[in-house]
Every structure is written in C-alpha cells, then in structure tokens.
Amino acid sequence: MPVTRQDFEANSFFHTHDVAVQDARPVFRPISGRQVFSGAGVYVWASPEIDRPDQYTALYVGKAGFGLQRRLGQHAGSFRDNGAGTGQQNRQLIVEWLAQGRTIQVWGRLSASTSLFGHETSLYAAEEAAACDAFEPLWNRANFPRVPHVGAAVPGEPGPEGDLPLVAAAFEAVPLGDEVTAFFGGLDLPTQERFMRVMNFIQQRYADAGNKLVKGYTDQPPGYSGRPMLVIGQIRANDDRAVNWSARIPLVDGDDNPLTIIFPRSQRNPNLAAHRFAEGRAGVWRPLDLDEFLNEPGDYLR
C-alpha cells in the first residue's frame, strides 16, 4: 500500500539517509545536518513514486537495537562481495530497483519505551511488527534468515553429529538477541566461520552459563570500550545483571577491533607471554590472535 510523507512524519519517522550504488554495492549516504538516533528504533527503506514524490512504496522494515547507524553499517557489511546470503539478496534487490530509475530513502524512528516489571523497556520489536502491518513492505520475508548450525562446515574441522542449535535460535529468548543475528549477517564468510568456532568454544567451556547483551563497558582492551557485547556468565535473577562473568564477545569486527573474546584477569594463564594478549585498564584481556587461541585455548587459559 502507498505510504505518504505525512504518514511517516505523523509517526515520528524522519528521513536519515539516501541509498545509492557505489562500485556496484549499495551505500547509505546520511542527510547533511540530520541527527541519527543511537537508541533502539525502527526504520523503513522507502521509495518515492516518480510522479508523486510525497508518496512512497515501502520496501523494507527493520529494527535497530543499538542505533540506526550501527544497523545500517551491518547491512553495508553484508553487501560485500563475500557477504552472506540474505545481504546479497538485499543487495540485488536494491541495485535492480535503483537501475529502474527509482530512488530509495531511509526513514527512522526512535522507539518509545514503557515500564514493564519495574524496568524501562524499549518497544522497538513491537513497533517493527506494527510498521510491517501498517506499511506492507515489499521485501520483508515471512521466514527471517537463520544462521547456519554452530560448528557446521568449518574448514578443517569435522561436522557435529546431529543438529546443533542455530545461532539465531540460541538467542531468541535473550533481550536484544536479534543484534547477534544482525551482527553475524554483516560479517564476511571467513569471519562468520570464526564466529561459529567462538560459539562452539563458549558452549563447550561454559555449558551451564547464561548470556545477555550489554551496551558496553569502559576500560576494555584498546578498541573495545563502549561496544555492544554478548556477556557469558551468571545472570542474576533479581536485577538481570551479569555477575561472575566468564567471557565477553564484542559485537564488532573492524581493522582496529577484530572479532575477539575478552576474559577476566583470573582466567589468564600466568605463563602467557605478553606479546600474545592485549589488556584493558580494568584487568580484562583478549588474545591477539583469535585463530591461534581457538586452536590452543589451553595455552591462554588457566
């Protein structure tokens, strides 16, 4: 169904980015002077009608648990030539749509929140469902993407016997757990395989631990402070805090902060050479070579 600019503005959506193609890949170009929300929200990829620029075709509705810029960056990562299947499908849809002479805009909305069970809770997941119902986006699929089985098809390793939980399904019950799936989808294929190896290690070593998503910590190893993290440890029931934590997986992968695992000081092997790890001011540390760590974790851990 057509969506009007008035529909967007009446529901507190604002135009944040234009979508273009650069070097055969979609890119998100921010609107100059337009502030992009950093909290939880929802967004729409919408295409103005050629003869009626204030009327739109909604193409895609999504949610952004840790801010719109981060979510669009995850989309952009999945558009790479070695990106994952769903990202490549979206890339093809965008490129073909723009090739017809149409344009695409991003409209975003900072989601409302409410107090539930004594905690302030964002309504972004409910708003995503409501936006899908209201705007009827063309490209949203009934079956949302699921990550391959943990440990499946990792080069050089035997496959597991029987079915292991899907990465996405493993986090369905975790608040903001969809961020893990979104992060995974923005990784290139070799890094996705490395992430699956990380999850295998976590499941084997900390089989009875809980997990939760946090927005970030200070005093982490260089490049990782203030980054969203999956925390593995004891999740206290009365306040949902992660206590006696065992590991943290920052949801980031860049040149200065590649995919890694962060551990408390108490878990570091006292004989570990200083050139093999990086430490934060809080005493937490990470292996500098993740593949080496995954191959020989006993060299690093007590």
Residue 256 pairs with which residues in a beta bridge?
A: none
Name, of 59-73, 116-130, 159-173, the range with top average pLDDT: 59-73
Domains and CATH numbers, the chain: 1-144 (3.40.1440.40), 146-302 (no CATH)
Helices (H) and strands (E) in the chain, counts: 8, 13
Is 148 a residue whose pLDDT tops 70? no
* pLDDT tens digits along 238-280: 566 777 899 999 999 999 999 999 999 999 999 999 999 999 9
Bridge partner list, 21: 26
For residue 85, which amino acid is it?
G
List CB contacts of 206: < 8 A, sequence separation 6 or more.
232, 233, 246, 247
Given a cut of 60, is residue 38 above it in pLDDT? yes
Contacts of 100 (CB under 8 A, 6+ apart): none
Q: What is the pLDDT of residue 86?
A: 76
Looking at residue 142, its pLDDT comes to: 37
Residues in contact with 201: Cβ distance below 8 Å, sequence separation at least 6, in sequence order: 261, 294, 297
Q: How far apart are CA 70 and CA 137, in angstroms?
A: 22
Give the phi and the psi of residue 230 in degrees, each rounded to 5.
-90, 120
143/22: higher pLDDT: 22
pLDDT at 39 over 70: yes
The pLDDT assigned to 27 comes to 96
Strands (E), 65-165: 104-110, 113-116, 119-122
Choose among 230, 232, 235: nearest CA to 251.
Answer: 230
pLDDT tens digits along 278-293: 999 989 999 999 999 9
Q: Which residues partner with 20 through β-bridges?
A: 27
Percent of the chain, pLDDT > 70?
Answer: 85
pLDDT at residue 115, as a whole number? 86
d(CA 192, CA 146): 13
Average pLDDT taken over every residue of the chain: 85
Write down the pLDDT at residue 171: 63
Name the strand (E) or helix (H) holding 26.
strand 25-30
pLDDT recorded at residue 143: 32
Between CA 174 and CA 65 the distance in angstroms is 12
Average pLDDT on 110-116 reads 90
Residue 289 to residues 62, 176, 187, 257, 259: CA-CA distances in angstroms?
34, 28, 18, 12, 10
pLDDT at residue 233, rounded to an integer:
87
- What's 77's DSSP letter? H
Strand stretches in 76-222, DSSP E? 104-110, 113-116, 119-122, 210-214
Instruction: Of 81-85, 87-91, 102-106, give the lowest mean pLDDT range.
Output: 81-85
User: Is the pLDDT score of 36 beyond 70?
Assistant: yes
Does position 172 have pLDDT exceeding 70, yes or no? Answer: no
pLDDT at 153: 41
Tokens standing for 186? 């923005």
DSSP letter for 275, please.
Answer: G
| pLDDT on residue 219 | 96
